[in-house]
Amino acid sequence: MLFDVDGTLLDALENQRRVWHAWAAHYRLDPAVVYQTALQTRPLDTFAAMMPGADADQCLRLLHQLEDEDALIGTYGAFPGAVELLAALPRQRWALVTSNYAHRVRLRFQRTGLRLPEVIVDASMPAYGKPHPAPYLLAAERLGVAPGGCLVIEDTASGVQAGVAAGMTVWAVNTPVPPPGCHRHYRSLQAAADDIRNHVA
């Protein structure tokens, strides 16, 4: 079981929007365009798309500062059913695959009562981010399972694309319509919870 985080387990999209809008304002970029780009990929790829040739380390330092502040004081929560679902899964059989960073994910999970797995693949690890399959392939490798034996739970088109490209089964949640390529679609995580538990049993 490989879970995306923001938008799938954590309802932090408004937090992401505020952080990216603040980041964009600092560089005098269009906040809406920056945010839509950031939703589809990891931060380093967003910097490259929005500010070619810019100092990526400097861009990342500002983003880290804004996101770390939000992780400490921002208001967000787990999607209904997330706490119970993760608590019921065997710890060694699931992982988080996120375009965020592990230290921030851990803090948010602690604040919202979500259980952490043994394996977290974050934005610093694979050479390529979603929609490239590398993050999901790395998670499968760290869990010691073949890609074809993995079920991915995602909420974005780029995440679905990454899971499918990795040769995995992908279920989409928390979206009104199915993202292209997903194998199954649920309007909410809670609606998918029983099927997810049954899949891993």
Question: What was the pLDDT predicted at 12?
Answer: 85
Strands 169-172 and 10-11: unpaired
Instruction: Give the closest residue to 185 by CA, choosing from 193, 197, 177.
Output: 177
Rounded distance between C-alpha atoms, residue 81 and residue 191, angstroms: 8
pLDDT at position 201 over 80: no
Contact 3, 97 (CB under 8 A): yes
Question: What was the pLDDT predicted at 143?
Answer: 97
- Residue 24: band (very low, low, confident or very high) from pLDDT cuts 50, 70, 90: very high
Phi, psi of 102 (to 5 degrees): -60, -40
Mean per-residue pLDDT of the chain: 94
Query: Which CATH code is given to the segment(s) 2-11+77-200?
Result: 3.40.50.1000
Q: What residue segments make up the domains of the chain, in order of their start?
A: 2-11+77-200, 13-73
Rounded distance between C-alpha atoms, residue 61 and residue 32, angstroms: 21
Task: Summarize pLDDT for 63-105 with one digit per residue, the tens.
Answer: 999 999 998 888 889 999 999 999 999 988 999 999 888 998 9
- Residue 149: band (very low, low, confident or very high) from pLDDT cuts 50, 70, 90: very high
Q: Which residues contact 177 (CB under 8 A, 6 or more apart)?
A: 185
Query: Catalytic: which of 4, 70, 122, 155?
Result: 4
The 3-state DSSP class for residue 26 equals helix
The 3-state DSSP class for residue 167 equals coil
**What are the residue ranges of helices labelled H in the chain?**
13-26, 31-40, 43-50, 56-73, 82-88, 102-112, 134-143, 157-165, 189-200
- Residue 200: band (very low, low, confident or very high) from pLDDT cuts 50, 70, 90: confident
* Catalytic (active site) residue 45: no
Query: Catalytic: which of 6, 11, 70, 122?
Result: 6
pLDDT at position 133 over 80: yes
Percentage, residues of the chain above pLDDT 90: 81
Rounded distance between C-alpha atoms, residue 124 and residue 19, angstroms: 19
* Catalytic (active site) residue 55: no
Token digits of residue 169: 């089964």
Rounded distance between C-alpha atoms, residue 191 and residue 74, angstroms: 27
What are the distances in angstroms from CA 147 to CA 52, 101, 128, 168?
34, 23, 17, 6
pLDDT at position 2 over 90: yes
Task: Summarize pLDDT for 34-59 with one digit per residue, the tens.
Answer: 999 988 788 888 999 999 999 999 99
The 3-state DSSP class for residue 91 equals helix
- Residue 125: band (very low, low, confident or very high) from pLDDT cuts 50, 70, 90: confident
Question: What was the pLDDT predicted at 13?
Answer: 81
